[in-house]
Amino acid sequence: MSVPFVNASVQGELSASPDQIFGQIPASGLDGVAFLDFAYESAGYSTHRVDGLLVGTWQGTSHNTLHDNWRSPWHPGPEDRPGDRPTRLTFRDGAMPDERADERIADAFVLRGPGFVGSTAWSGPCRGRYLAYMPAAVERMIEAPLSQAEIPTLTDDLSERMSVFHLLAALGQEAGGHDTAADALLVDSVALAVLRVSGALAPPNPRRNAALTARQARRVRDLVAARIDAPLSLREMAEAAGLSEGYFVRAFKGSFGVTPYQYVLRERVTLAQSLIRSGTVSLGEAAKRAGFPDARRMGRTFRKVIGRSPTEAARLQRA
């Protein structure tokens, strides 16, 4: 018995619910972008109709598919048994006859535009990661009506789209294992980057230098300072500068040397360091005032940004 599903602008049926969900971000509250990181332990299928945009990666192999230490079936480890076979992935476009089905061994990248109807089947264990965009989110990011967008339907070897794989894997780490919501600015930033590297959004003209004006930079800095203890989206930052999201990201990096997400993280770490060094607040309170969901997430960010835990950083600054 099949299981119906709806994920942002994608809907269809599954042969069964996933055996494991590593991370999930609903479209609600994130400007129409949803994410799912899931795995199956045995063969199955899904049907899907896309109203907006779907970008995803598939990995299928007889070992380690359900874990982050996934290994390519073309480079087996010593524990692999003779005769093991990687999972076969079969992608069908509803507009094409069955003999035109696209079959891949072990891994694949998929891009599905508005109006796509099709199905996916897997012969054994596999793991998938998807970003699903609502139509309004696509239009906002491509800066054009969806009806005018020429988004191709692509199925490619994952090795040809490793940038997408790494972006979705990073988003999976952010979405997994947390009781709190994923960072909206991170989700927006990854979603825009995925559009670019997947082929859904034309790359910017490399000869066009982008930078914020002094007034725009000041308005963005003021917004970040005022909202440092609250969620902030890429859309809000771009609106403060009066720019589209795509151009804003390029102009911001041209002016500040880092992405908007990296800048906000740096500002939060700086504020948290100051609060911790003062000795007047707990780690939990410092995390709250600096915009981190909790002290544990703050610690992860400290190690990522400055290579030390919050207490280690404070101790070194007092020395």
The DSSP line for 176-205 is TT-SSPPPHHHHHHHHHHHHHHHTSSPPP-
| Residues whose CB is less than 8 angstroms from the CB of residue 256 and which lie 6 or more positions away in sequence, other chains included | 217, 263
In this predicted structure, the answer to whether residue 288 has a pLDDT above a threshold of 60 is: yes
Q: Please, are residues 77 and 140 in contact by the beta-carbon 8 Å criterion?
A: no
199: left (phi over 0), alpha (psi -120 to 50) or beta: left
pLDDT at 32: 85
Q: Do residues 290 and 298 touch, judged by C-beta distance below 8 A?
A: yes
For residue 316, the model assigns a pLDDT of: 60
CA atoms within 13 A on the CB side of 40: 23
User: Is the confidence at residue 237, as pLDDT, over 90?
Assistant: yes
Asked if residue 58 has pLDDT above 60, the reply is yes
152 or 240, greater pLDDT? 240
Task: Give the pLDDT confidence score for residue 106 in this predicted structure.
Answer: 85
Per-residue confidence at 97, pLDDT binned at 50, 70, 90?
Answer: low
Mean pLDDT of all residues belonging to the chain: 83
Q: What angle do CA 118, 45, 166 make, to 5 degrees?
A: 80
Minimal CA–CA distance to 266: which of 311, 235, 221? 221
CA 134 to chain centre: 15
DSSP symbol at 319: -
Task: Write down the pTM of the prediction.
Answer: 0.78
Report the pLDDT value the prediction gives residue 180, as an integer from 0 to 100. Answer: 53
The answer, yes or no, to whether residue 319 has pLDDT greater than 70, is no
pLDDT of residue 173: 82
Q: In the predicted model, is pLDDT for residue 174 greater than 90?
A: no
pLDDT at residue 185, rounded to an integer: 86
pLDDT tens digits for range 238-278: 999 999 888 899 899 999 999 999 999 999 999 998 888 88
Q: How confident is the model at residue 88 (pLDDT cuts 50, 70, 90)?
A: very high
- Whose CA is closest to 131, among 74, 57, 56, 229? 56
